[in-house]
Amino acid sequence: MQKFVILCLVATFVGSTVAQFKNGRILEPPIPDRCSQRIIHERAPDGKGYYFSWKDPANQGKEKDWLAVRNFCRQMCMDSVSLETSPENEWIKQKIVEAKVSLIFT
């Protein structure tokens, strides 16, 4: 039993350090208030909701690295885009071209 408890503590410690990056930054947890008020700019033909950074005045033209984008999305119970199908890729590409933007996160 004691070995099991020690193993669980070690697993917990390892799990928490794996989620932390070398520079001390971490993956942020969801923030319930932000989740309930998240913005969905458009829905794709398959019904998925998308937040487009260029449509939000607070984020227009801002550059963020991968972790900052991931945390921004996670705080609102979303995830940064992962294009899974060719139609989804084409739909996203069309939105980017139509908006004439070069710096985005979705």
- Report the C-alpha gap between 68 and 66 in whole angstroms: 6
Q: Pick the residue with more confidence: 16 or 76?
A: 76
For the chain, the average pLDDT equals 81
- Report the C-alpha gap between 66 and 74 in whole angstroms: 12
| C-alpha distance from residue 26 to each of 17, 22, 63, 76, 80 (Å) | 9, 9, 19, 16, 16
**Range 2-25 average pLDDT:** 54
Q: Convert the pLDDT of each residue in 63-95 to its tens digit.
A: 888 899 999 999 999 998 788 899 999 999 999
**Range 33-54 average pLDDT:** 93
Domain boundaries defined on the chain: 24-99
Residue % of the chain over a pLDDT of 90: 52
